[in-house]
Amino acid sequence: MGLAVWNQDEAGPYQTKPYPGASWQPSGQPVRQAHEYIRSGTAKMLTLFHPRSGAVRIQGVTSATNAVLHPWLKAQCTAILDALPTPTVADTATPTALWQVWQQGLSQLIILPTALPPLRMLLVWDNLAGHYTPDMVLWLIEHGVMPLYTPLGGSWLNMAESVQRIIVRRALEGQSPETPPQIIDALEATAKSWNREPTPFVWGGKRAARRQRSRERRHALGGSGACTQRPVRQRTGLLKKWLKSCQTTH
């Protein structure tokens, strides 16, 4: 449908403590970390991830309450929408029908506005109570952003969690931050480095796994794109007899 798809998630908390992992230490001189440390606070990470391009938008915070998350998310969505092509005048019944289907899947009914703008963006995020706040959801609807909630126990459907693990591992492994601002700086610097050469993500769910297993059960044949469901039996017995006869003859 030509819609921009973004995944949103909050990660953390990350403590001020030594994190195990590799480090850029000279050979034979492993990094030494104190076995005693003081926990001086935690940091969290607000994330927006665009799987098709691999671009990530990250904000380090010490708290991820609605008062912090919602203004940040509105500002980021506004910037994303401003960069999208101007929507064309389409059939007004189309967005209404799409929103009505979306409304049927909600456990908490949200009354749709009378006038609905063109649908421009899909926002995948977790099924948390704060994500159903009427003020936030109505803001998304009024700006043409449809929130898609992952089911309970289905957070793995949100690809933002995958990129978060990569960012956190690169930022904190082998480090010993002493303050939350140090953690925030490491996370944001790592995200900035990631965006210099982002890696697009491709969905690999159960259907893709079934297709992969099906391809592995086939055996390719040389000369064309043909394949067989089982390997073609090689006449190794005749080859061995021929080689043995050649040896005895000579």
CA pair distance 141, 119, nearest whole angstrom: 8
Q: Is 235 helix (H, G, I), strand (E, B) or coil?
A: coil
Residue 224's pLDDT is: 58
Residue 128's pLDDT is: 82
Residue 205's pLDDT is: 65
Q: Which of 98, 158, 91, 159 is nearest to 128 (CA)?
A: 158
* Sign of the torsion angle spanned by Cα atoms 23, 27, 29, 30: positive
Q: Looking up tokens 């649908």, which residue turns up?
A: 119
**What count of Cα atoms within 13 Å lies in the side-chain half-sphere of residue 88?**
4
Residue-wise burial string across 97-122, b where 16 or more C-beta atoms lie within 10 A, e elsewhere: eebeebeeeeeeeeeeeeebeebbbe
Residue 104's pLDDT is: 79
Residue 39's pLDDT is: 79
Contact present, 123 and 70 (Cβ < 8 Å):
no
Residue 91's pLDDT is: 53
Contact present, 174 and 63 (Cβ < 8 Å):
no
In order of 29, 45, 141, 169, 202, the CA distances from 25 in angstroms are: 6, 28, 51, 17, 35
Range 4-196 has CATH code 3.40.30.10:
no
Residue 162's pLDDT is: 87
Q: Is 227 helix (H, G, I), strand (E, B) or coil?
A: strand
Contact present, 116 and 87 (Cβ < 8 Å):
no
- Domain ranges (residues) in the chain: 4-196, 218-249
CA pair distance 138, 132, nearest whole angstrom: 10
CA pair distance 109, 235, nearest whole angstrom: 68
What's the whole-model pTM score?
A: 0.74
Tens-level pLDDT at each residue, the chain (250 residues):
678 889 999 988 999 888 877 666 777 777 676 667 777 889 999 999 998 899 999 999 998 889 999 999 999 999 999 998 877 655 556 677 887 787 776 777 777 777 788 888 999 998 888 888 888 988 998 888 988 888 777 777 788 888 898 899 889 888 888 899 999 999 999 999 999 998 888 777 666 777 777 777 776 666 656 677 666 666 566 556 666 777 766 5
